[in-house]
Amino acid sequence: MTPSASTHIESLRAAVRYHQHRYYVLDDPALSDAEFDALFRELQRLEAEHPELASPDSPTVRVGGLIAERFEKVRHPAPILSLANVFGAEDMYAWRERLRRLLPAEEQAKLAYVVEPKFDGLTVVLHYENGRFVLGATRGDGEVGENITPNLRTVRVLPLTIPVEEDGGEHGLQNLRIEEDVTPPIDTQRASVSTTQSPIPNPQSPSLLVVRGEAYVTVADFDAFNRSQEEQGERTYANPRNFAAGSLRLLDSGISARRPLRLWVYQALIWEGVDDPPATHWDSLAYLKALGLPVAAEARRFTDEQFDELVDYLSHWHDLRARLPYELDGMVVKVDSLAQQERLGFTGKDPRWAVAYKTGGEEAATKLLDITVKVGRTGVVTPNAVLEPVAIGGVTVSAATLHNEDYISELDIRVGDTVLVKRAGDVIPKVLRPLPELRDGSEQPWQMPSVCPVCGQALVRPEGEVATYCVNNACPEQLVRKVEYFVGKAALDVVGFGSRQAELFVEQGFIHDLADVFELPWETIAAMEGYGEKRVENLRAAIEAAKSRPAARLLTGLGIRFVGSSVAEIVMAAYPDLPSLMAADVASLSASEGIGPKIATSLVDFFALQPNRALIAKFAHLGVRMSGDARVAAEGVAQPFAGLTFVITGTLPTLSREEAKVYIEERGGKVTGSVSAKTDFLLAGEKAGSKLEKAEKLGVAVVSEEELRRKGEGIVNGEL
Ligand code: IVH
């Protein structure tokens, strides 16, 4: 080992760290990509030449590669607490009152607050010993987390050693270094509100530093990743948060390394070995920043006298969110003095000295570019908003429902308006109202068209109804939607038959009624572009398989008013086959539990119509199964959920709610809408709300989709 090689490598490492820090953390690169690459490659070359100088802290060692079998448990040095939510200004003043009551008069006067974004990612706890990153963990249950150090080491913004040298090292880099220019602090609202900390010139490296932060990905990186996954037919993620969490918890850190993970740190849990540790949260942020850790520039400090300004600032947090490239989940307000924090303490698992500020629901304002109408499978014509794309809660929204004609006229929504859009869970986003104060006079009132945009027949709005209909039974759009539903997951579930096929086959004149799905002209299709031999074979086989699904699926697929998949199953359980059901009257139909006169009448009315009876006869003639019950036994699916009642809430990782319901019901379980003492399991996904709270209150077991599947498959494999 030559001393010169060793110093050279060290100075190159320092330089790479410095430039990565500028690039990733300060967002202020001093080198072009090519210059940086040259530097990085030079370091790689030298390290390859001198394997004896290898170091796990080298910035070249970010590629991961360690494959864990499972994550080890790590006990946190201090509990990783959560935050109580507050909603709106009143809650903020009430919180301040509580603080005052808990503090003696002389302390009240000294109150000050720091407001920060609430980053929407995954909590991580990072340990630095003698300046080296040695351990990183997830939050877990707040006491014990999982050791995800190898994955965190791949996160470029996370320095592997601290402090990151101020000048990027001294040796041989003069030609690469560019003078640092000082970027002005963004959005300095008022001189009295602190927006940047005073710099700490030469921060002392702590012997032990434990910090808490949030790992995340930017909205743009998330979109790009999902787009490329989609192109390759790979799984996509629901939102940036899930993506970040999923990427950090991969057992193969080599894959984590290729995910665009980033990080903000926002709290120091432990400082050891520093002569003069910071006494306020504000100063600790400055200290962390000076050590080279990524600290968001968006923090603001307010004195108690400025509390009105603080509340006003919070009320505009949507503006901040719109400006930032990553997702926010509200704002966090913290008491600045660490001594006061300690004095205020905790209630349960929430600190008294900090709160999360949120506003109800997920809303955003955007431009209403146009209103188009869509014909549904029942002929209902729904107006839909075409929106300038806007990110709401991690999802880009460019369309929303406007319900019906009256909704638009009552709210006076005009094309060109800026409108408030709300998205909640997995439901279709809706336009809440226009913001008339933003009009410039160019906005145009809207009217329901008088004819169907697809078939050109006059639209009808029956007396006393809010809905407008295309009453042309032959309207191709209605038929497309009917077919789509018929072959969809809740009904016959034909794999490989989606909206595109429905549109194409109707447009080509292959399908005139639902039964035609079973009589497609396969030779003609095989000659069409994009329909190779394999694809045609698969589709044909899938359609063939759908013929033997239990009749409840067929009944669901008919799209009879009020007859969804659960109702279809209830009624089919009461009759041996579809023809017997068709012969039933309202009274006997209503004898089944859960079937009232409204549903019964709808069924009777449907089967009273000759074309509908003819359709059923056609199905029977084509060999589509007419019998109902015993479907599960017939399909050979075990019944691990027999006698169990489930409620579904939130967004599940892979299944839609309808699919989850089918999954449970196929295995003998029942799905109901609300949690009660009779509920056995709550199947909960992301953003579960009041149902989850209720389940927890009632002591109802909560399961994830994964657990559900394990239980659902376990019996089949004889494991349970
Ligand atoms: S401070 C004891 N600051 O929000 C106080 N938390 O709902 C500790 N979070 O689990 C939290 N941004 O992961 C704090 N600027 C921020 C934050 C933040 C996001 C997360 C944190 C916590 C959750 C609480």
Three-state SS sequence of 628-686? CCCHHHHHCCCCCCCCCEEEEECECCCCCHHHHHHHHHHCCCEEECCCCCCCCEEEECE
pLDDT higher than 70, residue 428: yes
Q: Give me the residue label for tokens 């009273």.
A: 608
Check residues 54 and 235 and name the one with the higher pLDDT.
54
Name the band, by pLDDT with cuts 50, 70 and 90, for residue 188: very low
Same domain, 456 and 477: no
Q: Is 332 in the pocket of ligand 1 (CB under 6 A)?
A: yes
pLDDT higher than 70, residue 386: yes
The dihedral built from the CA positions of residue 127, 129, 132 and 134, taken in this order, carries a sign that is: negative
Low-confidence winner among 22-36, 55-69, 147-161 (lowest mean pLDDT): 55-69
Residue 584 dihedral angles phi and psi, to the nearest 5°? -75, 155
Nearest CA to ligand 1 atom 15: 118
Q: Which of 205, 202, 337, 340 is nearest to 271 (CA)?
A: 205
| Mutation to probe ligand 1, out of 119, 298, 344, 687 (largest number of atoms < 8 A from CB) | 119
Q: Are strands 670-672 and 300-303 parallel, antiparallel or unpaired?
A: unpaired
The 10s digit of each residue's pLDDT in 555-580 is: 999 999 889 888 898 899 888 899 99
Same domain, 306 and 382: no
Q: Output the CA angle 668-669-673, nearest 5 degrees.
A: 150
* Cα 121 to middle of ligand 1, angstroms: 10
The alpha helices in 510-652, defined as continuous H runs, are 522-526, 533-546, 551-557, 565-574, 578-583, 586-589, 597-608, 610-621, 631-635
Q: Which atom of ligand 1 is nearest to the CA of 85?
A: 7
Say which CATH number the domain at 432 has: 2.40.50.140
Residue 413 placed within a domain: yes
Say which CATH number the domain at 605 has: 1.10.150.20
Q: What is the mean pLDDT of residues 529-558?
A: 93
Q: How far apart are CA 511 and CA 666, in angstroms?
A: 30
Q: Based on the structure, what is the number of domains in the chain?
A: 6
Same domain, 121 and 15: no
Q: What is the pLDDT of residue 203?
A: 83
Q: What is the mean pLDDT of residues 292-308?
A: 94
Say which CATH number the domain at 659 has: 3.40.50.10190
Residue 20 placed within a domain: yes
Residue 607 CB contacts under 8 Å (≥ 6 apart), including other chains: 581, 582, 613, 616
pLDDT higher than 60, residue 178: no
Q: How far apart are CA 492 and CA 35, in angstroms?
A: 59
Residue 447 per-residue DSSP state? -
Q: Which atom of ligand 1 is nearest to the CA of 350?
A: 2
The dihedral built from the CA positions of residue 143, 149, 151 and 155, taken in this order, carries a sign that is: positive
Q: How far apart are CA 575 and CA 553, in angstroms?
A: 14
Same domain, 216 and 202: yes
Which residue among 118, 289, 358, 691 is the active-site one?
118
How many residues are present in the chain? Answer: 720
The amino acid at 349: K
Q: Is 123 in the pocket of ligand 1 (CB under 6 A)?
A: yes
Nearest CA to ligand 1 atom 10: 82
Residue 158 dihedral angles phi and psi, to the nearest 5°? -90, 115
Check residues 636 and 241 and name the one with the higher pLDDT.
241
* Cα 212 to middle of ligand 1, angstroms: 9
Same domain, 158 and 280: yes
Q: Which of 277, 347, 360, 371 is nearest to 318 (CA)?
A: 360
Q: What is the mean pLDDT of residues 39-46?
A: 88
Low-confidence winner among 167-176, 225-234, 441-450, 543-552 (lowest mean pLDDT): 167-176
Cβ-contact 237, 243 below 8 angstroms: yes
Residue 639 placed within a domain: no
Q: Give me the residue label for tokens 């991580």.
A: 124
Residue 76 CB contacts under 8 Å (≥ 6 apart), including other chains: 125, 137, 140, 142, 143, 144, 145
Say which CATH number the domain at 19 has: 1.10.287.610
Is the peptide bond prior to 3 cis by the omega test (within 30 degrees of 0)?
A: no
Q: Is 116 in the pocket of ligand 1 (CB under 6 A)?
A: yes
* Cα 476 to middle of ligand 1, angstroms: 52
Last residue of some domain: 431, 460, 489?
460
* Cα 342 to middle of ligand 1, angstroms: 17
Q: How far apart are CA 640 and CA 667, in angstroms?
A: 6
Q: Which of 112, 85, 81, 80 is nearest to 99 (CA)?
A: 112
Last residue of some domain: 426, 460, 494?
460
Same domain, 655 and 600: no
Provide the edge-to-edge strand list for the sheet that holds 132-138. Answer: 132-138, 122-129, 208-216, 262-272
Q: Which of 492, 506, 614 is nearest to 555 (CA)?
A: 492
Q: Is 82 in the pocket of ligand 1 (CB under 6 A)?
A: yes
Number of Cβ atoms within 10 Å of the Cβ of 14: 21
Q: Is 119 in the pocket of ligand 1 (CB under 6 A)?
A: yes
Same domain, 222 and 89: yes
Residue 530 placed within a domain: yes
Q: Which atom of ligand 1 is nearest to the CA of 81?
A: 2
Name the band, by pLDDT with cuts 50, 70 and 90, for residue 268: very high
pLDDT higher than 60, residue 90: yes
Q: Is 267 in the pocket of ligand 1 (CB under 6 A)?
A: yes
Last residue of some domain: 343, 358, 373?
358
Nearest CA to ligand 1 atom 9: 118
The 10s digit of each residue's pLDDT in 309-345 is: 999 999 888 788 888 999 888 899 999 999 999 999 9
Q: Give me the residue label for tokens 């991690």.
A: 394
Same domain, 277 and 328: yes
| Mutation to probe ligand 1, out of 86, 125, 212, 214 (largest number of atoms < 8 A from CB) | 214
Residue 48 DSSP SS3: helix
Q: Is 357 in the pocket of ligand 1 (CB under 6 A)?
A: no
Q: What is the pLDDT of residue 181?
A: 31
Q: What is the mean pLDDT of residues 69-90?
A: 85
Nearest CA to ligand 1 atom 18: 118
Residue 74 placed within a domain: no
Nearest CA to ligand 1 atom 2: 81
The packing angle between helices 657-666 and 565-574, to 10°, is 20
Q: What is the pLDDT of residue 667?
A: 82
Q: Is 118 in the pocket of ligand 1 (CB under 6 A)?
A: yes
**pLDDT exceeding 90 applies to what percent of the chain?**
48
Number of Cβ atoms within 10 Å of the Cβ of 404: 19
Q: Is 354 in the pocket of ligand 1 (CB under 6 A)?
A: yes
Check residues 547 and 690 and name the one with the higher pLDDT.
547
Q: What is the mean pLDDT of residues 4-21?
A: 87
* Cα 78 to middle of ligand 1, angstroms: 15
Same domain, 413 and 482: no
Q: What is the pLDDT of residue 427?
A: 61
Q: How far apart are CA 23 and CA 19, in angstroms?
A: 6
Q: What is the pLDDT of residue 69?
A: 62
Name the band, by pLDDT with cuts 50, 70 and 90, for residue 251: confident
pLDDT higher than 50, residue 285: yes
* Cα 299 to middle of ligand 1, angstroms: 13
* Cα 215 to middle of ligand 1, angstroms: 11
Name the band, by pLDDT with cuts 50, 70 and 90, for residue 99: very high
Same domain, 103 and 206: yes
Same domain, 133 and 217: yes
Check residues 428 and 222 and name the one with the higher pLDDT.
222
Domain that holds residue 50: 3-63
Residue 58 CB contacts under 8 Å (≥ 6 apart), including other chains: 13, 43, 47, 160
Check residues 618 and 638 and name the one with the higher pLDDT.
618
Nearest CA to ligand 1 atom 22: 82
Residue 649 dihedral angles phi and psi, to the nearest 5°? -145, 155
Provide the β-strand partners of residue 265: 213
The amino acid at 13: R
Q: Output the CA angle 424-425-427, nearest 5 degrees.
A: 80
Q: What is the pLDDT of residue 201?
A: 72
Nearest CA to ligand 1 atom 4: 118
Same domain, 352 and 396: no
The 10s digit of each residue's pLDDT in 343-374 is: 999 887 789 999 999 865 577 889 999 999 99
| Mutation to probe ligand 1, out of 266, 340, 350 (largest number of atoms < 8 A from CB) | 266
Residue 78 placed within a domain: no
Tell me, yes or no, if 118 is annotated catalytic. Answer: yes
Q: Is 475 in the pocket of ligand 1 (CB under 6 A)?
A: no
Number of Cβ atoms within 10 Å of the Cβ of 67: 12
Q: What is the pLDDT of residue 175?
A: 36
Q: What is the pLDDT of residue 155?
A: 93
Residue 627 placed within a domain: no
Q: Is 399 in the pocket of ligand 1 (CB under 6 A)?
A: no
* Cα 118 to middle of ligand 1, angstroms: 6
Residue 133 CB contacts under 8 Å (≥ 6 apart), including other chains: 57, 126, 127, 149, 152, 153, 158, 159, 160, 161, 162
Nearest CA to ligand 1 atom 16: 118
Q: Which atom of ligand 1 is nearest to the CA of 296?
A: 15
* Cα 328 to middle of ligand 1, angstroms: 11
* Cα 97 to middle of ligand 1, angstroms: 22
Rounded to the nearest integer, the mean pLDDT of the chain is: 85
| Mutation to probe ligand 1, out of 76, 80, 81, 82 (largest number of atoms < 8 A from CB) | 82
Q: Are strands 112-119 and 144-146 parallel, antiparallel or unpaired?
A: unpaired
Q: Which atom of ligand 1 is nearest to the CA of 123?
A: 13
Residue 344 Cα distances to 236, 353, 513, angstroms: 43, 6, 70
Residue 166 dihedral angles phi and psi, to the nearest 5°? -60, -40
* Cα 79 to middle of ligand 1, angstroms: 13
Q: Is 81 in the pocket of ligand 1 (CB under 6 A)?
A: yes
Cβ-contact 696, 702 below 8 angstroms: yes
* Cα 191 to middle of ligand 1, angstroms: 27
Number of Cβ atoms within 10 Å of the Cβ of 546: 23
Q: What is the pLDDT of residue 678?
A: 83
Q: What is the pLDDT of residue 1?
A: 52
Residue 628 placed within a domain: no
Q: How far apart are CA 118 and CA 305, in angstroms?
A: 24
Nearest CA to ligand 1 atom 21: 123
Q: Is 504 in the pocket of ligand 1 (CB under 6 A)?
A: no
Residue 528 per-residue DSSP state? S
Q: What is the mean pLDDT of residues 484-506?
A: 93
Q: What is the pLDDT of residue 192?
A: 61
Residue 491 DSSP SS3: coil
Residue 197 per-residue DSSP state? P
Q: Are strands 328-335 and 208-216 parallel, antiparallel or unpaired?
A: unpaired
Q: What is the mean pLDDT of residues 59-75?
A: 72
pLDDT higher than 90, residue 32: no
Residue 116 Cα distances to 43, 121, 326, angstroms: 37, 15, 14
Number of Cβ atoms within 10 Å of the Cβ of 632: 16
Nearest CA to ligand 1 atom 12: 118
pLDDT higher than 60, residue 176: no
* Cα 82 to middle of ligand 1, angstroms: 6
Using a cut of 0.95, tell me whether the model's pTM lies above it.
Answer: no
Q: Are strands 681-684 and 645-649 parallel, antiparallel or unpaired?
A: parallel
| Mutation to probe ligand 1, out of 141, 216, 332 (largest number of atoms < 8 A from CB) | 332
Q: Which of 162, 154, 178, 151 is nearest to 59 (CA)?
A: 154
The 10s digit of each residue's pLDDT in 638-694 is: 778 888 889 999 888 888 877 788 888 878 888 888 888 888 999 998 888 888 988
Q: Give me the residue label for tokens 């209103």.
A: 371
**pLDDT exceeding 70 applies to what percent of the chain?**
91
Residue 327 CB contacts under 8 Å (≥ 6 apart), including other chains: 119, 120, 121, 216, 219, 239, 240, 241, 321, 391, 393, 394
pLDDT higher than 50, residue 630: no
pLDDT higher than 60, residue 223: yes
Say which CATH number the domain at 171 has: 3.30.470.30
Nearest CA to ligand 1 atom 13: 123
